[in-house]
Structure 1
Amino acid sequence: MKNWQEDLLRIVTVAPGEQRVFDEIVAAARELGFEYCSYGLRIPFPVSNPKIHTLFEYPRAWAKRYQQAGYVETDPTVLHGRRSRKPIVWSDELFASTPQLWQEAQSFGLRIGWAQSCVDGNGCVGMLSLSRSSEAISANELKVNEPRMQWLVSIAHQALTQKLAPRILDVEKIQLTDRETEVLKWTADGKTACDIGQILTISVDTVNYHLRNIIAKLNVTNKTAAVVKALVLGLLN
């Protein structure tokens, strides 16, 4: 039986085109209980004029209004995502500095939301936002679903960066050792460093040493992103 990680990884195997990939991300978001979804990707080249790509599964009028008003420059969720990789739940307090944006978003049904950004070693920053019109996000929902939501963030970033910025991805030179591959495969199965140490009969420090090397080689920021990128590149086959 497939686990949810494998199910989400289908996203990176769909037909070419960022919209097709985004459609799969939207479907995964709905399975997690969210009506709406957006993804923004900032590509830092050229330095003088970084490229920003946005994909929306919002009411059309709101997506148009958001872009026309230039809300991306003041959106508190975007500002948070630029400085922090921690997920954030929407709240009145979060949008206190932008009441017009918040009021308009709610008028279109975007009242409850969650967002997290992701950055890679090439400097591409992406942010996934999941939202709905009702039912606050409970602590239990976060406990159960946030691991999947965070996987979706990493998968969205890897898949859409491949589609939107393929020329900056230098993947041919990446090679993992046999031990690094073993460690990453067990990580992909949800094992902790302690679990992996027991399975491979090595110390936790050694496991973490391999994980640090893997993260550096793959030019990512954490082990979840490393697993996703390695799977996307076929390094764990």
Structure 2
Amino acid sequence: MDQVEKLELSQNILLARATHKHQESDDKQYQQLRNDMLNSTSQKFLPSMVKTSRNLDQFWQFIKSKSDNYSDRRTFIYTEFQPSFDFFEKSNVAPLDNVIKDTILKLDSTYIQTTWDKALERRLDDPQGAITLARTLIESTCKHILDELEIDYGNSPDINQLYRLVSKELNLSPSQHTEQVFKQILGGCSSIVEGLGALRNKVGDAHGQGKVNVKPSSRHAELAVNLAGTMAVFLFTTWGFKKKSLEKITQR
């Protein structure tokens, strides 16, 4: 169930409660939906009455003070929910976002989780910031893995250097393979990382620009964030497999 579906179901439950058409099971479902949405990256765009009403009893105390008229209550609820629908439908969060988030949530790194959440939020309204965060996500991913491998990467390595170190340790360097198809795919991964670094330097918000300003659109930001997220999942998944292999060797 995506955010729009959760929002619509929550609205329907509140409409039913406001007009005495609710069922006993609605309260439990509402609380679950509310918790899910509050834990999402876009919880700040939820209607304030959802944020403040922990259950349907609390919502009833709120809505009955607004009006005694069912029609007025329905109008009020629809009006309060509309900005949230506008936001979620505009953002159109893709299934890929959730796949990446699930992987990142497994990490012991609040910084990486926050970076991904911010990148998602800024894709539409702040493309430059989103592109910078996409590059930061890759950089943080590489450093996280190298730290766990206890490999020194110096004080200020660039993103290409970091990726070369990680790819070598995870056997992801094209030169470590003989099959042409793998060399081609892994070479493409290297190009993605290099491209994200170059894109951030060119149009991100980390550097000032000259007289001619190049401004990315939301579609450019979406591409950058999706590529960065996909690469982060690929690297973390590969590291997970290697980590398990290393643990088996040490247990022997």
Q: Same fold (TM over 0.5)?
A: no
TM superposition score category, shorter chain reference: under 0.3
User: TM-score, normalization: structure 2?
Assistant: 0.23
Q: Which has the larger radius of gyration?
A: 2
User: TM-score, normalization: structure 1?
Assistant: 0.24
Structure that is richer in helix per residue: 2
Structure that is richer in strand per residue: 1
